[in-house]
Amino acid sequence: MSPERRGRPPKDVGKIIEKYQRDPLLWLKDTYGVELWDKQKEIFMSVWENRRTAVKSCYASGKSFLAGCLALAFVHLWVDSKTATTAPSKRQLQNIWDPIHQLHDRARAPIGSELLRHELRCGPGWWAVGFTTNMPERVQGMHAPKVLLIVDESAGIEAEIHERLDALMTGDYCHRLDIGNPHDPSGHFYELFHRDDVNTFTISAFDTPNIQAGQEVVPGLVTDIWVEEKRRQYGEDSPMWMSEVLGEFPPSSEDQLIPLQWVKAAQERWNETEIPQLEPVYAVDPAGGGMAEDVLCTRVGNYVFPIRAWSGLAGPELVGAMSQHIDPRYPVHIDSIGVGYNLVGIARMKDLYAIPVNVRETPKDPERFLNLRAELYWKLRDALDPDGDIQFALPDDQLLASQLTAIKYKFNAKGKIQIESKEEMASRGLPSPDRADALAMTFMRGMGERSEPISVGVQEELDSGLVNSLDMPSVPWSDYYH
């Protein structure tokens, strides 16, 4: 078959193609053995029959698989059509193209197309292509009798790219699907759900087949176990629960210290961020009992390493575990209130450059902040602010993300910034924010600030400050952050 005819159906099967164009779900079943579940079918047909469709979804709902099915059906069933899928990162782009490859390889009959990594060729000017949004030039030449645009993680795409994609919607037979997790209650993706010309859908975890059936009937989709884990970790009032489990935009709250979209943006850039050639900053938040963790956080400039956490270790065991991940040439900041006081002494005896941190102390800017804890958390907030210049990078740690986005702040009677206490969080059913506290303590040092090398004089001063922890008066946990 010549290149000009590759993938073009012979005239004698024209009626079959027309049948599949009217019922593309049947084509998926006949060609690949795929049968979508109810809400996926609704969304599929909305995209097929309407100009604009938007879907906000919980995690692991199968929306990327659905997008891959749409791309395959559209490009094969409409001659001379063009399909484009785009996403902010290569990983997100691959979420759609992985199922395209899997399904293409298991077609029950030759379907007349050539599949490359992120391209599907059916003939000259007849193709599907995938590209990340840092390659906007790939949208050139997208005009065709029929066009399908699939925009994954739509909330993470800049307004300029959305405008360039919309410029391709010039014909009468253009279709666009925007999908994503609803992190940010503002911006282009959010606005789609308030427009009359867009068909909108929400996929909650409780809509999916595995939750409906009470068992795993579709491998890879969200399960009851995952939902219950998130209920315990986040609480049903948290922004993370609303976004990741219910598929809803979290409410915008004026007293929320760190918005969810800031954390997600920092997590998305983590894999693309080079580790700066700067001194490491270490911080330890010791467990205060119960379900709390002993946490070590390591930050180098704008880059945060994966959190190290332990439970149930005695002081010497914990210091031994921590020391495996600490360069002894540099200071480690340890929350010294309560159980942390003893840990500072043990760490120093193990030749770690341990510096006690009492977050109840007076901050450097006492006119603005109630205490050191408020000042440290505000520095962290500034680092995460997407309008700033830091481009902070966080690991994909959902527990850390849930703690950061759960914390509230307020202004006291004197107009000073005050961070919500652990007790106040506990009254809302939230666990101790151990990972967030450790990350905030890394801001005892600036983004590129160099530490003073430990000298004999410094060591003598540290040693003279050691007090037998058994003689230290206990600090009530109710006074922990006041």
| pLDDT over 50 at 362, yes or no | yes
The string of DSSP letters for 231-266 reads: HHHH-TTSHHIIIIIS--PPPP-TTBSS-HHHHHHH
pTM of the model: 0.70
Q: What's phi and psi for 119, nearest 5 deg?
A: -150, 140
Q: What is the rounded average pLDDT for all residues in the chain?
A: 86
pLDDT digits (tens, 9 = 90+) for 273-312: 999 999 999 999 998 655 689 999 999 999 999 999 999 8
In the chain, list all ranges with CATH 3.40.50.300. Answer: 3-213
Right CATH for 3-213 from 3.30.1490.20, 3.40.50.300, 2.60.120.560, 3.30.930.10: 3.40.50.300
In order of 257, 363, 394, 407, the CA distances from 370 in angstroms are 15, 7, 27, 16
Statement: residue 12 has pLDDT above 70 = no
> DSSP alpha helices (H): ranges in 134-293?
159-166, 187-192, 209-213, 224-234, 239-240, 260-268
469: DSSP letter: G
**Which residues 6+ apart lie within 8 Å of 377 measured at CB?**
257, 407, 409, 419, 440
CB burial of residue 433 (10 Å; 0-12, 13-18, 19+): buried
Provide the pLDDT confidence category of residue 248 given band limits of 50, 70 and 90.
very high
For the domain made up of 260-479, give the CATH fold: Nucleotidyltransferase; domain 5 (3.30.420)
CATH 3.30.420.240 positions along the chain are 260-479
119: part of which helix (H) or strand (E)? strand 119-123
- Alpha helices (H) in 269-371, listed in sequence order: 315-323, 340-349
Classified as helix, coil or strand, 362 is coil
CA-CA distances (angstroms) from residue 283 to 26, 295, 366, 448? 57, 8, 23, 16
90 membership: H or E segment, kind and range: helix 90-105
Asked which of 10-14, 88-92, 371-375 is least confident by mean pLDDT, the reply is 10-14
Sheet holding 52-57, edge to edge: 114-115, 119-123, 126-132, 82-87, 147-151, 174-180, 52-57, 199-203
Per-residue pLDDT tens over the stretch 221-234: 999 999 999 888 78
**pLDDT of res. 458:** 41
Which pLDDT does position 432 carry in this prediction?
Answer: 87
Q: Which of 403, 132, 404, 161 is nearest to 271 (CA)?
A: 132
Question: How confident is the model over 117-129, as a mean pLDDT?
Answer: 93
Per-residue pLDDT band for 461 (boundaries 50, 70, 90) equals: very low
- Contact by Cβ (8 Å): 330, 451: yes
Question: Letter for the amino acid at 237?
Answer: D
- Residue 300: the pLDDT is 96
Over pLDDT 70: what percentage of the chain?
Answer: 88
Cross-strand partners of 300: 303
Pairing status of strand 52-57 against strand 308-310: unpaired
Band of the pLDDT at 444, cuts 50, 70, 90? Answer: very high
Split at pLDDT 50, 70, 90, the class of 4 is very low
* Distance in Å from the first CA to the final CA of the chain: 78
Buried b (16+ CB within 10 A) or exposed e, 336-369: bbbbbbbbbbbbbeeebbbbbbebeeebeeeeeb
Contacts of 146 (CB under 8 A, 6+ apart): 74, 78, 80, 81, 82, 171, 173, 174, 175
